[in-house]
Structure 1
Amino acid sequence: MKKFLLVIGLLLFIIPGVVLAQQKATVVGRDIGELKNIRISGRLIDQISGEPLVGATVTIRELNKTEVTNTNGSFFLVLDRAEYTLEFRYVGYETIIYPIIAVGEGRISLTMIQEDFTLDDVVIFGRDPEKNLRSTEMGAISINMNTLKELPPFLGEVDIIRSIATLPGVSQVGEASSGLNVRGGGADQNLIMFAGAPIYNPSHLFGLFTAFNPDVVNDFTLYKAIIPTRYGGRGSSILDITPKSGSLDTWGGDMMAGSVSGKLSINGPVVKDKISAKVGFRGSYINWLLNSLNNPELRTSQANFNDVNGILYGEINENHNITYSFYRSYDDFALASDTTISWTNLSHSIRYNGKLSEKFFVDAIGFYTFYDFSIFNRSGINNFDLKSGIEDVGARLNFTYNLGDRNKLFFGADTKNITINPGELIPGTNENGEMSVLPQLVQPEFARESGVYFQHDFEIGEKLGFSYGLRYDSYQYFGPRTVRSYAPNLPINSANVIGERTYADGEVIQSYDGFGPRASFRYSINSKTSIKGGYNKMYQFIHLISNTATIAPTDVWKLSDEFIRPQIVDQYSLGLYKNFKGNIFETSFEVYYKDIQNVVDYKDGARLLLQNNLETEIIPGVGQAYGVEMYVKKNLGRLTGWLSYTYSRALRRVLTPFEEEIINDGNWFPANFDKPHDLTLIGNYKLASNVSLSGTFFYSTGRPVSFPEAKFDFAGNSLAFFRDRNLQRIPDFHRLDLSLNFQLKGKGKFYEGDWTFAVMNVYGRKNPFSIFFADQAGSPPQAYRLAILGVPLPTLSYSLKF
């Protein structure tokens, strides 16, 4: 019997290989005698949903050449008349081997089916598996949503921002934080774009959830080292999120119900093979959980959020397409009080992709984005509304010209107008019909950012690859606005005002510009090992005015003016990259150093809210950051995952001619988010073909805080005395999350789909998010820790495709 089973097993193993070897090649194109430069286009879609597969790789084995599908799932090849073997790969999908005979211009349309994980030894790569070795890009990390779904969910669903924080060089300050700190940069130094439109607050519930629905996201790329010249405006990183367009063939959708939130998305053809639509909605129902708690403060609290996405895709022909994207998110939160905080993100974008010739491509984007927050107080005593917002309107035009297979030229331009309403206090009336506070309006700000760029990527043989480029950024800050003048050689404060000037609407108040060179190289030691290095210069004309360590909805954005200069960041990077055992293991080792000019810091006791003259509360500083990043990833087998470790420092220095403005005696001190050691370990183990266990372990050094050294009495109040900033640290952070996923197929029964059971903070670590101080008689103020998540938190979610 054993011999019989062995024979059957060998036949099952050998026969598919024989069939593949004998598979007849498909003749592509009409034979009209073409011998060279035969143009072949194609498209890849999901076999079930019909959605385009963006970022799939198409490899021509005979030429050792790989192309990547665009936002429509399309690819383009230029071949000579011959026989070829095409290999199609996409994360989470079965690989397709497709022999062809190219005889003339033609088109290939293929469907790919998701891998059911019945085999243990299949490697699925989302992009070229050797791209990390052969590309001149440094610090560019792309993640497909199918890969993201293998990570333990946070409160029932996968999270884009938190997944990025598991990568080397990227961190967050705590469990309820929405911002990212990338290579020693502040949270405001990251440009986050959804469908080409900037998003200013990417969070729900103060950072407990990311404000992007994973079901409408196709993939995202983080640039943290050598940033392509087509991007500008931020000092540390660019996070470019690409939405998923709907199917041109069939209608379908996704649904998820979790412990605290749920989501639904549907998509399908509006005009078959021409126009598709995709709509996604996500909302929370966390209030039932709050209302069931014993704590009276939490029981009277409320927390709500929702977001809506809409994507309309139109295919003019195989060479031209247009995509319209709509996005809106909303939050409101009230913690046992009469004060409610709410914030909204809103964006529209329209994108045109065109192939003007076999070598010339265009990508054009127009966008509008709006962010605002409000604080409403309805206590009956001091009723008021406090509002603030920021608005962007802009466009980008990008061109690509293929000089050859390994020789590309990129160039283009972008511009946007920025309007900031820093704050408006609208008084309400009390029970007697009287205003309890005075109205206040902070002057709005207006500016324009523009840039032009070019970039040249090319290779010299198999060993050397180069990328160099230049970006020119220009910035104008203009009226209407009334600007103070201050006495020279004295600190900028209200006591030293000597006059003011009023600028008319559109009149330029201050201008800045600068050239940002960027260059990188790649040297291949062998086919599995390469060295890369590069230099990057970035300008940032907008600043986040906040004295907290993480992004909060009440933070105010401030434009550069004649007192606050733009941040300038110079970064140097060097890395070693090596793959092992047929790309089963990917490893990298990178070092970097940054110089940061014109860092915004704050005077002691600074008042930042509703401040018409922020220059009196702010002092300029400089920064430096350096670090070492190590990354090991396993792609093959039952156990997959990665290990990332970063040693880094983020330091600041404030040294001015005025003694009262100097911080820490002019010495270097840690930034609020400085965490020298940061370790993440992620694993996914396939227990069976439809069952997987995932785990994530985090460890990091506690972030800096300032402890009071003494206290003193002033006007009858006991006040804390602080000597230096950020010279103490909260306890180290560590946490373990686990999840168990079941893929059940019930042929239409209610339990068909994916069930995910997850436990956050498995061993109940009380990680401190912040430290606060309480007065104690006869001693300095005593420190207490605030933990956001101090107990194990189980969640259950159910999702399906239909």
Structure 2
Amino acid sequence: MLRWLSILFLTVTALWQASASVVLRGRVTDYSGEPLEGVTVSLGTGLGATLTDAKGMYRLTTADTDTLRASFRLLGYREERRTLLHPQGEMVISLRMRPDERELEEVIVTDIRKRTDAMERLDAREYGRRAGDPTGGSVEAMVATLPGVAGAGELSGRYSVRGGSYDENTVYVNGVEIYRPMLVASQQAEGLSVVNPEMTASVGFSSGGFAARYADRMSSVLDVAYRRPQSFEGSATVSMMGGALTLGQGSERFAQLHGVRYKRNTSVLSTSDTKGEYDPDFFDWQSCLSWSPSRRWRVEAFFDANLNTYRFAPADRNTSFGTLDDAHRFKVYFDGCEHDRFNAFTGAATVGYTTGNTDLSLQLSGFRTDELV
């Protein structure tokens, strides 16, 4: 008797569990009657989900509940939802999904900027943070990406505009023309850029049509203005090829900004075709001082010390030439060494006076260069 009672109890329990589950099935098509494959059919978190097959059929089993909310989603079609109250047993939901033809709202982007000259404004600090060029994100490397401008190489800060010469480009820093009498022929021997990107506030570049106050160079003008700090500020960067330190301090009447840079790109030069001992050292110090004794008067000073030393003792070089079927290679051995030193010092003092809409200024500047080849 006990045995038959156990069998009866298990049978009733199984039937009750079967009746406590809900089976949802059906077919999903588009409005032309074609089956949709990959439609996501879900009943909510923890209740189950499935995908339609190649014929658009689906089958989903879930526990008995008072309310079932089924959603049908497919990319490119509008989401369809169905709600079932007191579902029991096996239920069929077949539907057609409508394409999602809704369009994005129109977005209009406008830029209003008053152009009073032919200068193109550039963001040198943002470029310096993102650029991956061997020069360290110099302003000249950014200028070389503009239309009509061609750079001399990835290791060089020189650029030519509209086919002109490399020495036909004027560079101004805080209104002071930077004298650059030395343009080395070898890219490896070039030092740091004359412009410190961490000190810049604005960079303007013109490839033609610039004002007469930018001297008599024919190709282009690069006009850089350094920041005037309002309080104490500082930044430092360190890399495998050197580092930079910038410090500034300012108040209502007096402001100062100093920048020190050092570069030693031995790791880059050692990968060139010419093997040997590379020993470059490039150092640069720039300082800007500004004093405003009154609202009309201002006194500014600028100093730049650029020290470049390049030592190279070549050992050998492998040169390959010819075609794929007729390839040749020869090896050259060197004797001797190269020792270059280029030092440039620039100093300028400017006294300015403002009268309404007119600015008057008097500038005294000087430079000194040392060269050893």
TM-score (norm 1): 0.28
Aligned 8 A contact 2:305 2:345 in 1:
yes
Shift of 1:282: 0.6
Aligned counterpart, 1:340: 339
| Match for residue 224 of structure 2 among 241, 244, 251 | 241
Structure 1 residue 136, shift from structure 2 partner: 5.8
Q: Quick one: structure 1 residues 353 and 261, their matched pair in 2 at CA, closer, same or farther if it must change by over 3 Å?
A: same
Is residue 2:302 matched to residue 1:325? Answer: yes
- CA distance change for structure 1 residues 352 and 148 in 2, over 3 Å: closer, same or farther? farther
The letter for the 2-side match of 1:309 is Q
Name the counterpart of 1:230.
213
> Among 284, 288, 303, which residue is 2:263 paired with?
284
SS for the counterpart of 2:293 is strand
For the residue of structure 1 that corresponds to 2:292, the secondary structure is: strand
Q: Following the alignment from structure 2 to structure 1, what is the Cα–Cα distance between the partners of residues 240 and 360?
A: 44
Q: CA deviation at 1:164?
A: 0.3
Q: Deviations over 1:450-488 (max 9, x none)?
A: xxxxxxxxxxxxxxxxxxxxxxxxxxxxxxxxxxxxxxx
Give the Cα separation in 1 of the matches to 2:160 and 2:224.
Answer: 18
2:298 counterpart letter in structure 1: N
1:198 maps onto 2:178 in alignment: yes
CA separation of 1:341 and 1:321: change in aligned 2, threshold 3 A:
same
Shift in alpha-carbon separation, 1:202–1:355, aligned structure 2, 3 A: farther
Aligned letter for 1:171?
A: A
Offset at 1:202? 7.6
Q: Deviations over 1:327-381 (max 9, x none)?
A: 111111122144311112211111233222x233223322112334211xxxxxx
Contact 1:197 1:349 (C-alpha < 8 Å) held by counterparts:
no
- 1:175 maps to which of 133, 138, 154: 154
Cα 1:142–1:303 shift into 2, 3 Å: same
Say whether 1:371 aligns with 2:369: yes
Would the aligned equivalents of 1:349 and 1:368 in 2 still touch at CA under 8 Å?
yes
Contact kept? 1:251, 1:267, Cα under 8 Å: yes
Q: Distance in 2 between matches of 1:165 and 1:251?
A: 33
* Alpha carbons 1:352, 1:364 under 8 Å: kept: yes
Tell me, in whole angstroms, the C-alpha distance in 1 between the residues paired with 2:145 and 2:307.
26
**Counterparts of 2:285 and 2:233, CA distance in 1:** 18
1:405-445 alpha-carbon deviations (Å, 9 max, x no partner): xxxxxxxxxxxxxxxxxxxxxxxxxxxxxxxxxxxxxxxxx
Distance 1:244 1:327 in 2: 16
Q: Which residue of 1 aligns with 2:104?
A: none
Local SS of the residue matching 1:317:
coil
Q: Would the aligned equivalents of 2:298 and 2:353 in 1 still touch at CA under 8 Å?
A: yes
Equivalent runs, 1:86-235 vs 2, <5 Å: 129-131=111-113, 135=115, 137-138=117-118, 140-149=119-128, 151-155=130-134, 157-195=136-174, 196-200=176-180, 201=182, 205-207=188-190, 209-235=192-218
For 1:262, the equivalent position in structure 2 comes to 243
Shift of 1:182: 0.8
Q: CA deviation at 1:226?
A: 0.8
- Could you say what secondary structure the match of 1:157 adopts? coil
Amino acid at match of 2:241: V
CA distance, structure 2, for counterparts of residue 155 and residue 237 of structure 1: 24
Task: Map 1:46-61 onto structure 2 (within 5 A).
Answer: none
Alpha carbons of structure 1 residues 155 and 181: separation in structure 2 relative to 1, 3 Å: closer
Q: CA deviation at 1:274?
A: 2.1
Superposed CA deviations along residues 584-616 of structure 1, whole A, max 9, x for unmatched, are xxxxxxxxxxxxxxxxxxxxxxxxxxxxxxxxx
- Residue correspondence of structure 1 range 603-622 to structure 2 within 5 A: none
Counterparts of 1:291 and 1:206, CA distance in 2:
10
Aligned CA RMSD, in angstroms, stands at 3.2
User: After superposition, what is the alpha-carbon deviation per residue over 1:93-135, rounded to whole angstroms, capped at 9, x for unaligned?
Assistant: xxxxxxxxxxxxxxxxxxxxxxxxxxxx9x9x9xxx433xx53
In structure 1, distance between residues paired with 2:339 and 2:200: 30
The residue type paired with residue 156 of structure 2 is: S
Matches within 5 A, 1:721-732: none
Q: Identical aligned pairs, as a percentage?
A: 16
Deviations 1:653-711 (A, max 9, x none): xxxxxxxxxxxxxxxxxxxxxxxxxxxxxxxxxxxxxxxxxxxxxxxxxxxxxxxxxxx
Aligned CA distance change for structure 1 residues 301 and 149 (closer, same or farther; 3 Å)? closer
Q: Give the Cα–Cα distance (whole angstroms) in 1 for the partners of residues 183 and 285 of structure 2.
A: 14
Is 1:303 the counterpart of 2:280? The answer is: yes
CA distance change for structure 1 residues 179 and 329 in 2, over 3 Å: closer, same or farther? Answer: same
Question: Are residues 174 and 369 of structure 1, via their aligned partners in 2, closer, same or farther at CA, if it must alter by over 3 Å?
Answer: same
Structural mapping, 1:433-452, within 5 Å: none
Structure 2 unaligned blocks of 5 or more: 1-106, 314-335
**Amino acid across the alignment from 1:255:** A
Cα distance in 2 for residues equivalent to 1:365 and 1:371:
20
Match of 1:252 in 2: 233
In the TM superposition, what is the alpha-carbon distance from 1:145 to its structure 2 partner?
3.0
In structure 1, the partner of 2:10 is none
- TM-score, length of structure 2 as denominator length: 0.57
Q: Structure 1's 258 and 155: CA in aligned 2 closer, same or farther, altered over 3 A? A: farther
> Post-superposition shift, 1:324?
0.5
Distance 1:181 1:155, change over 3 A: closer
**In structure 2, what is the equivalent of residue 772 of structure 1?**
none
Structure 1 residue runs of 5 or longer lacking an equivalent are 1-120, 376-802
Q: Is the 8 A contact 2:200 2:224 kept in 1?
A: yes
Shift of 1:147: 4.0
Equivalent residue, structure 2, for 1:556: none
**Deviation per residue, 1:487-506 (Å, 9 max, x gap):** xxxxxxxxxxxxxxxxxxxx
Q: Distance in 2 between matches of 1:173 and 1:292?
A: 20
Structure ranking higher in strand proportion: 1
